[in-house]
Amino acid sequence: RESKDQLVIDAGQKHFGAITCRSCGMIYTAANPEDETQHIKYHQRFMEGIKFVGWKKEHIVAKFWNGKIIMIQPDDPKYAIKKAEEVRELVDNELGFKQTTLTCPNKTVTYLYISNEKKIVGCLIAEQIKKAFQVLPDTVSYEVQTLEIMERHRAWRCSTIPQTAVCGISRVWVFSLMRRRGIASRMVDAVRATFMYGSYLSTNEIAFSDPTPDGKLFATKYCKV
Protein backbone atom coordinates (compact mmCIF):
# COMPACT_ATOMS: atom_id res chain seq x y z
CA ARG A 1 0.00 0.00 0.00
CA GLU A 2 2.77 2.31 0.92
CA SER A 3 4.57 1.90 -2.37
CA LYS A 4 1.36 2.49 -4.30
CA ASP A 5 0.82 5.84 -2.57
CA GLN A 6 4.35 6.73 -3.39
CA LEU A 7 3.76 5.97 -7.04
CA VAL A 8 0.74 8.23 -7.16
CA ILE A 9 2.66 11.08 -5.61
CA ASP A 10 5.53 10.65 -8.05
CA ALA A 11 3.20 10.60 -11.01
CA GLY A 12 1.56 13.74 -9.75
CA GLN A 13 4.80 15.57 -9.29
CA LYS A 14 5.78 15.08 -12.89
CA HIS A 15 2.95 17.37 -13.82
CA PHE A 16 3.75 20.12 -11.36
CA GLY A 17 5.18 23.35 -12.57
CA ALA A 18 4.97 25.11 -15.87
CA ILE A 19 5.21 23.45 -19.24
CA THR A 20 5.96 25.32 -22.44
CA CYS A 21 4.25 23.82 -25.46
CA ARG A 22 6.87 23.42 -28.16
CA SER A 23 4.36 24.00 -30.94
CA CYS A 24 2.33 26.99 -29.81
CA GLY A 25 4.64 28.39 -27.14
CA MET A 26 1.94 28.62 -24.49
CA ILE A 27 3.08 28.18 -20.91
CA TYR A 28 0.58 26.25 -18.83
CA THR A 29 0.24 23.92 -15.87
CA ALA A 30 -0.58 20.41 -17.00
CA ALA A 31 -2.02 19.49 -13.60
CA ASN A 32 -4.64 22.20 -13.91
CA PRO A 33 -7.63 21.09 -16.04
CA GLU A 34 -8.71 24.65 -16.69
CA ASP A 35 -5.23 25.50 -17.91
CA GLU A 36 -5.16 22.43 -20.11
CA THR A 37 -8.50 23.32 -21.67
CA GLN A 38 -7.25 26.86 -22.30
CA HIS A 39 -4.16 25.44 -23.88
CA ILE A 40 -6.02 23.10 -26.22
CA LYS A 41 -8.22 25.97 -27.38
CA TYR A 42 -5.31 28.33 -27.91
CA HIS A 43 -3.19 25.61 -29.48
CA GLN A 44 -5.73 24.77 -32.17
CA ARG A 45 -6.41 28.38 -33.06
CA PHE A 46 -2.73 29.23 -33.13
CA MET A 47 -1.68 26.25 -35.24
CA GLU A 48 -4.45 26.96 -37.72
CA GLY A 49 -3.55 30.66 -37.83
CA ILE A 50 0.15 30.20 -38.47
CA LYS A 51 -0.27 27.44 -41.04
CA PHE A 52 0.77 28.65 -44.48
CA VAL A 53 -0.31 26.44 -47.34
CA GLY A 54 1.40 28.47 -50.04
CA TRP A 55 -0.13 30.42 -52.88
CA LYS A 56 0.31 30.40 -56.62
CA LYS A 57 0.98 34.11 -56.59
CA GLU A 58 3.28 34.92 -53.68
CA HIS A 59 5.06 38.23 -53.48
CA ILE A 60 8.37 37.05 -52.04
CA VAL A 61 10.56 39.97 -50.99
CA ALA A 62 13.43 38.10 -49.31
CA LYS A 63 14.75 34.57 -48.92
CA PHE A 64 16.87 33.12 -46.13
CA TRP A 65 18.25 29.75 -45.18
CA ASN A 66 15.40 29.19 -42.71
CA GLY A 67 12.54 30.78 -44.59
CA LYS A 68 11.24 33.67 -46.64
CA ILE A 69 9.40 36.95 -46.29
CA ILE A 70 6.26 37.60 -48.29
CA MET A 71 4.41 40.87 -48.68
CA ILE A 72 0.63 41.33 -48.77
CA GLN A 73 -0.71 44.56 -50.24
CA PRO A 74 -4.24 46.02 -50.13
CA ASP A 75 -5.04 45.07 -53.73
CA ASP A 76 -3.94 41.44 -53.34
CA PRO A 77 -6.43 38.57 -53.75
CA LYS A 78 -9.01 37.99 -51.02
CA TYR A 79 -7.35 34.81 -49.68
CA ALA A 80 -4.13 36.72 -49.03
CA ILE A 81 -5.91 39.58 -47.25
CA LYS A 82 -7.87 37.03 -45.21
CA LYS A 83 -4.69 35.29 -44.10
CA ALA A 84 -3.12 38.61 -43.14
CA GLU A 85 -6.17 39.42 -41.04
CA GLU A 86 -6.13 36.03 -39.37
CA VAL A 87 -2.49 36.47 -38.35
CA ARG A 88 -3.14 40.03 -37.17
CA GLU A 89 -5.88 38.75 -34.87
CA LEU A 90 -3.48 36.25 -33.31
CA VAL A 91 -0.87 38.96 -32.83
CA ASP A 92 -3.37 41.46 -31.41
CA ASN A 93 -4.58 38.82 -29.03
CA GLU A 94 -1.05 38.26 -27.77
CA LEU A 95 -0.34 41.98 -27.55
CA GLY A 96 -3.62 42.61 -25.77
CA PHE A 97 -4.81 45.00 -28.48
CA LYS A 98 -8.57 45.31 -28.49
CA GLN A 99 -8.90 47.18 -31.74
CA THR A 100 -10.23 44.76 -34.35
CA THR A 101 -10.11 46.85 -37.50
CA LEU A 102 -7.24 48.76 -39.03
CA THR A 103 -7.30 52.55 -39.16
CA CYS A 104 -6.60 52.62 -42.85
CA PRO A 105 -6.71 49.18 -44.53
CA ASN A 106 -5.98 50.55 -47.99
CA LYS A 107 -2.62 51.89 -46.83
CA THR A 108 -1.59 48.81 -44.90
CA VAL A 109 1.03 46.32 -45.98
CA THR A 110 1.61 43.04 -44.14
CA TYR A 111 4.90 41.18 -44.15
CA LEU A 112 4.95 37.54 -43.11
CA TYR A 113 8.05 35.51 -42.29
CA ILE A 114 7.38 31.93 -43.40
CA SER A 115 9.57 29.14 -42.11
CA ASN A 116 10.70 26.20 -44.23
CA GLU A 117 8.16 24.16 -42.27
CA LYS A 118 5.44 26.37 -43.80
CA LYS A 119 4.59 28.16 -40.57
CA ILE A 120 4.20 31.88 -40.14
CA VAL A 121 6.80 32.72 -37.51
CA GLY A 122 6.84 36.49 -37.93
CA CYS A 123 4.42 39.26 -38.83
CA LEU A 124 4.94 42.96 -39.43
CA ILE A 125 2.24 45.47 -40.29
CA ALA A 126 3.33 48.69 -41.92
CA GLU A 127 1.23 51.74 -42.71
CA GLN A 128 1.86 54.86 -44.68
CA ILE A 129 2.14 57.86 -42.36
CA LYS A 130 3.15 61.50 -42.63
CA LYS A 131 4.11 62.48 -39.14
CA ALA A 132 5.58 60.83 -36.09
CA PHE A 133 6.65 61.99 -32.67
CA GLN A 134 9.90 60.88 -31.20
CA VAL A 135 9.64 59.11 -27.88
CA LEU A 136 11.47 61.20 -25.35
CA PRO A 137 14.40 59.42 -23.84
CA ASP A 138 14.40 57.41 -20.67
CA THR A 139 17.81 56.85 -22.06
CA VAL A 140 18.41 57.84 -25.64
CA SER A 141 15.88 56.13 -27.85
CA TYR A 142 15.11 56.60 -31.50
CA GLU A 143 11.72 55.08 -31.90
CA VAL A 144 8.73 57.25 -32.46
CA GLN A 145 5.01 56.92 -32.22
CA THR A 146 2.47 57.61 -34.92
CA LEU A 147 0.06 60.46 -34.44
CA GLU A 148 -3.09 58.34 -34.47
CA ILE A 149 -1.88 55.85 -31.90
CA MET A 150 -0.51 58.60 -29.70
CA GLU A 151 -3.93 60.15 -29.41
CA ARG A 152 -5.34 56.91 -28.05
CA HIS A 153 -2.69 55.96 -25.52
CA ARG A 154 -0.03 57.98 -23.87
CA ALA A 155 2.18 55.23 -22.72
CA TRP A 156 5.48 56.97 -23.40
CA ARG A 157 6.42 60.60 -23.16
CA CYS A 158 6.60 62.04 -26.64
CA SER A 159 8.10 65.04 -28.27
CA THR A 160 5.55 67.63 -29.44
CA ILE A 161 7.61 68.42 -32.52
CA PRO A 162 6.49 66.19 -35.37
CA GLN A 163 9.07 64.59 -37.59
CA THR A 164 8.43 63.49 -41.12
CA ALA A 165 8.19 59.76 -41.40
CA VAL A 166 7.04 57.65 -44.29
CA CYS A 167 6.27 54.31 -42.76
CA GLY A 168 4.69 53.46 -39.44
CA ILE A 169 5.19 49.99 -38.04
CA SER A 170 2.03 49.34 -36.10
CA ARG A 171 2.83 45.75 -35.18
CA VAL A 172 5.88 43.55 -35.21
CA TRP A 173 5.67 40.06 -33.81
CA VAL A 174 7.84 36.95 -33.81
CA PHE A 175 6.77 33.50 -32.59
CA SER A 176 7.88 33.26 -28.96
CA LEU A 177 10.18 30.28 -29.46
CA MET A 178 11.96 31.88 -32.43
CA ARG A 179 12.87 35.23 -30.91
CA ARG A 180 16.38 36.72 -30.77
CA ARG A 181 17.38 35.14 -34.07
CA GLY A 182 17.17 38.25 -36.20
CA ILE A 183 13.72 37.56 -37.65
CA ALA A 184 12.24 40.95 -36.69
CA SER A 185 15.37 42.71 -37.96
CA ARG A 186 15.05 40.97 -41.33
CA MET A 187 11.39 41.95 -41.56
CA VAL A 188 12.21 45.61 -40.91
CA ASP A 189 15.02 45.41 -43.47
CA ALA A 190 12.44 44.09 -45.95
CA VAL A 191 10.06 46.95 -45.17
CA ARG A 192 12.79 49.52 -45.72
CA ALA A 193 13.67 47.97 -49.08
CA THR A 194 10.15 47.47 -50.42
CA PHE A 195 7.63 49.79 -48.72
CA MET A 196 8.35 52.72 -50.99
CA TYR A 197 9.04 51.71 -54.54
CA GLY A 198 12.46 52.75 -55.72
CA SER A 199 13.89 53.96 -52.44
CA TYR A 200 15.48 52.40 -49.37
CA LEU A 201 14.01 54.00 -46.25
CA SER A 202 16.38 55.28 -43.60
CA THR A 203 15.71 54.45 -39.96
CA ASN A 204 14.50 58.05 -39.54
CA GLU A 205 11.77 57.44 -42.05
CA ILE A 206 10.26 54.53 -40.15
CA ALA A 207 8.37 54.85 -36.87
CA PHE A 208 7.35 52.21 -34.36
CA SER A 209 3.92 53.00 -32.97
CA ASP A 210 3.00 52.47 -29.37
CA PRO A 211 5.79 50.02 -28.63
CA THR A 212 5.59 47.36 -25.95
CA PRO A 213 8.68 46.97 -23.72
CA ASP A 214 9.95 44.23 -26.10
CA GLY A 215 9.19 46.43 -29.07
CA LYS A 216 11.00 49.37 -27.51
CA LEU A 217 14.13 47.33 -26.82
CA PHE A 218 14.09 45.95 -30.32
CA ALA A 219 13.44 49.31 -32.01
CA THR A 220 16.13 51.07 -30.01
CA LYS A 221 18.67 48.43 -30.97
CA TYR A 222 17.59 48.23 -34.59
CA CYS A 223 17.59 51.96 -35.23
CA LYS A 224 21.08 52.40 -33.83
CA VAL A 225 22.55 49.90 -36.26
Residues in contact with Zn ion by CB under 5 A are 21, 23-24, 43
Binding partner of residue 124 among Zn ion, ligand ACO, none, CB under 5 to 8 Å per kind? none
Give the nearer residue to ligand ACO in terms of CB position, either 6 or 20: 20
Give the nearer residue to ligand ACO in terms of CB position, either 28 or 222: 222
Give yes or no for a contact between 83 and 55, defined as CB atoms under 8 angstroms apart: no
Residue (of 122, 134, 156, 125) closest to 205 by Cα position: 134
Number of residues written out for the chain: 225
CA distance 184 to 174: 7
Under rule CB under 6 A, residue 165 binds ligand ACO: no
Under rule CB under 6 A, residue 171 binds ligand ACO: yes
Residues numbered 204 to 223 that lie near ligand ACO (CB under 6 A) are 208-209, 211-212, 214-215, 217-218, 221-222
The site that binds ligand ACO (CB under 6 A) totals a number of residues, namely: 23
Residue (of 26, 44, 46, 37) closest to 87 by Cα position: 46
DSSP 89-149: HHHHHHHT----S-S-GGGEEEEEEEETTSBEEEEEEEEE-SEEEEEPPSS----EEEHHH
By rule CB under 6 A, what string of x and - marks binding of each residue 68-107 to ligand ACO? ---------------------------x------------
Interface with ligand ACO (CB under 6 A): 95, 169, 171-174, 179-185, 208-209, 211-212, 214-215, 217-218, 221-222
